[in-house]
Amino acid sequence: MIADCPLPEPDLLAAIPRLRRYARVLTGDATRADDLVQETLARAWEKRRLWAVGSDLRAWMFTIMHNVFVNQLALAARDAQNVSIDADGDGKEAWQLPVRATQQLHVELHEVLRELSRLPIEQREVLVLAAIEEMSYAEIATVLAIPVGTVMSRLSRARERLRRLVSDAPGTPGAPGAPLKMVR
User: How big is the chain, counted in residues?
Assistant: 184
* DSSP secondary structure letter of residue 179: P
Instruction: Give the residue among 148, 147, 150, 155 at the shortest CA–CA distance from 126.
Output: 155
pLDDT value for 118: 87
Give the integer Cα–Cα distance in Å for 126 and 121: 9
pLDDT one digit per residue (tens) for the chain, 184 residues: 444 567 788 888 888 999 998 899 888 888 999 999 999 999 988 888 888 888 888 889 999 999 899 888 877 767 655 544 344 444 444 444 454 556 766 677 777 778 888 889 899 889 989 888 888 999 999 989 999 999 999 999 999 998 888 787 665 544 444 443 333 3
Q: Where in the chain is the domain with CATH 1.10.1740.10?
A: 8-78
Measured CA distances, 46 to 36, 42, 70, 104 (Å): 15, 6, 19, 44
Question: Has domain 100-174 been given CATH number 1.10.10.10?
Answer: yes
CATH level 2 (architecture), domain 8-78 = Orthogonal Bundle (1.10)
Residue 128, pLDDT score: 87
pLDDT of residue 85: 39
Would you call 4 exposed, middle or buried from its count of C-beta atoms within 10 A (0-12, 13-18, 19+)? exposed
Q: In the chain, where does the domain assigned CATH 1.10.10.10 lie?
A: 100-174
Please report the sign of the dihedral spanned by the C-alpha atoms of residue 49, residue 55, residue 58, residue 63: negative
